[in-house]
Amino acid sequence: MPPGNAAFTWLDWAVLGAYLAGITAFGLWIARRIRTSRGYFLGDRNFPWWVMIGQAFGTGTHAENPVAQTGAVFDRGFATIWYQWKNMLITPFYWLMAPWYRRSERTTIGEIVEDRFGRGMAFAYTLFAMLYFVCNQGAMLKGAGKVISVATGGQLVSPNGCVAAMVGTFVLYSFFGGLAAAAYTDFVQGFLIIALSFMLIPSGLAAVGGVEGVRASLPADFFELYNQASGIDLFTIAMLTLNGLVGITAQPHILAMNAAGRTERAGRVGQTYGNMIKRLCTIGWALTGLIVAALVIRTGVSLGDNENAFGYACLHLLGPGFTGLMVACVLAANMSTCSNFMVNSGALFTRNVYVRFIRPGAGDRECLLVGRLSGLGMTMLGVLFALSVDQVLDAFLFNETIPAFLGITVMGGILWRRANRYGAYAATATALGVYYALNAHASGALNLVYKWTPEPFGWAMLAGAAAFVLASLATRPESAERTAAFFDAMRRSSDAAPGAPKPLAADRGQDLVLLDVTGWFSRARWRGFFRRYREDLAGFVLAWGAVLLLIALAWGLLQIR
């Protein structure tokens, strides 16, 4: 039987308070070095590879992830892991795409869009990106709120009360410390997130009679890595993978994840293997979902909301002090991600709205202040969104889906030279229109957030890609100068010393294999192929090895009897 903690004890509160005070103090200590907008928005592009791993893992691991994944497995079985693993099969591509952002030498994705398609499309992207930050922060805040509310017994504070309480903590060091504070706190918190992602499993197994007890309590299809009973079939996995591959390129914070390192390789390693660590932790959340499902059946308890499963496990499977530590780490991971988003949303507004349209001659100190204040303002809008969110999984998939429609433009602009602004407008409008039209028809109502299903998403992506190609071919191309400048930057290594000429990446084995895919039909692309692309090819193969190991690990754990 589970320990059955009746409440969040004084020891839990002491652990939680000490952790929050310590991480806030650490963030403010890092903040003392921030003096410029470049330092605030991108950490002066000087993070080592290990900080980049911590940043990618911490920023990519939000409070709603264990909440949503544990709840989904609790409800429908282990195969729902593919909702979180939707990016598993495209993680090796992070290695290939990471240099795009550093070579752009820009601060925001909006500036990259402007370089490729002009000011109008950049402004449209900026509006989307600000909405993305607001909605994503809202989903993360509500996810943490659900965990903390249930883990404290459900009587001390509501999920919405948790949302309001936690904002004041991360805003403090975010406002002053910028990306550096977010990245270094991410690294510290990462170790605890890894440990605590698996902490519930030993006590959970003991409470239900081990693996045999879990299997005896649940249907056999709950232990399959893939099945249709969970709602995750091969078509759904394919659509989730497409969602992740295209959508990641347009997520507004992705530039900071890849471009803030000291070298291109630091960005590649950080983005690829920081996310691999998250895939590993997802296995822990999924196993916890199975354990809670068995525990609830054995005890006859009704959770009401399946997304209460993770918080329920924290309360009933951890002893005094450990529950507080778990809550602290969920909260800290959430705060560090919100911190990163706060900084990136401030950069987006400052660079793509304030400097571009309001004060083109703004000095650096003014940009720093505007970045801090605008980031704070959008965080407050995220709080309002959090108060309206019910199901975290639906909000999570919505936040991951909308970027895919903009990703047609971002990815397409890099892969295809002939792409132009008219194709970008057509792709975005068509994909969004088809997506909402199909969902509205199926549900009979027009909503902002729909439950994710693969068919409307697949048709929307197909229609958007077709509109992108047809509109680009039917209208005049971008200026030759604009296109040449954009692709010339992508062909040159960004690892050169400051002020020195940027060498051709091919001379260093750092040419980008995905760049201008249509160029693969030329003989020049294949001359010295392995020598020119050795960084891409070696890293890509190693990353696939890591993917196969993680999938084999999950499959092997499900075979244990």
- What per-residue confidence (pLDDT) applies to 65? 78
- What per-residue confidence (pLDDT) applies to 386? 66
Residue in 77, 37, 75, 43 with CA at minimum distance from that of residue 59: 43
Residues 63 and 216 sit within 8 Å (Cβ to Cβ): no
Given the candidates 1.20.1070.10, 1.20.1630.10, 1.20.1730.10, 3.40.1550.10, the CATH classification of the domain at 10-394+535-558 is: 1.20.1730.10
pLDDT per residue, tens digit, the chain (561 aa), is 444 444 667 888 888 788 878 888 888 888 887 888 888 888 888 899 999 998 898 888 876 678 778 989 999 999 999 888 878 999 999 999 999 999 999 999 999 999 999 999 999 999 988 888 887 777 777 666 666 666 666 545 555 556 666 676 677 777 777 888 878 877 877 777 787 788 889 989 999 999 999 999 999 999 999 887 777 788 888 898 898 899 999 999 899 899 999 999 999 999 999 999 999 999 999 999 999 999 999 888 888 778 778 878 877 887 788 877 777 777 776 777 788 888 888 998 999 999 988 999 899 989 999 999 998 888 888 777 766 655 555 666 677 788 999 999 999 999 999 999 999 999 999 999 999 999 999 888 887 777 778 899 999 999 999 999 999 999 999 999 999 999 999 999 999 877 788 999 999 999 999 998 888 888 888 889 999 999 999 999 999 999 999 999 999 999 988
- What per-residue confidence (pLDDT) applies to 157? 55
Residues 324 and 16 sit within 8 Å (Cβ to Cβ): yes
pTM reported for the whole predicted model: 0.88
User: Tokens 């970027």 belong to which residue?
Assistant: 403
What is the distance between the alpha carbons of residues 193 and 141, in angstroms, rounded to a whole number?
17
What is the distance between the alpha carbons of residues 111 and 351, in angstroms, rounded to a whole number?
8
Residue 83 sits at the vertex; the CA angle it makes with 295 and 427, to the nearest 5 degrees, is 160
Based on DSSP, count helices (H) and strands (E) in the chain, helices before strands.
21, 0
Residues 405 and 431 sit within 8 Å (Cβ to Cβ): yes
- What per-residue confidence (pLDDT) applies to 232? 77
- What per-residue confidence (pLDDT) applies to 510? 96
- What per-residue confidence (pLDDT) applies to 311? 76
What is the distance between the alpha carbons of residues 79 and 85, in angstroms, rounded to a whole number?
10
Residue in 325, 340, 293, 473 with CA at minimum distance from that of residue 20: 325
Residue type, 92: P
Residues 383 and 334 sit within 8 Å (Cβ to Cβ): no
Residues 64 and 395 sit within 8 Å (Cβ to Cβ): yes
- What per-residue confidence (pLDDT) applies to 95? 97
- What per-residue confidence (pLDDT) applies to 507? 92
- What per-residue confidence (pLDDT) applies to 341? 85
Domain ranges for the chain: 10-394+535-558
- What per-residue confidence (pLDDT) applies to 153? 62
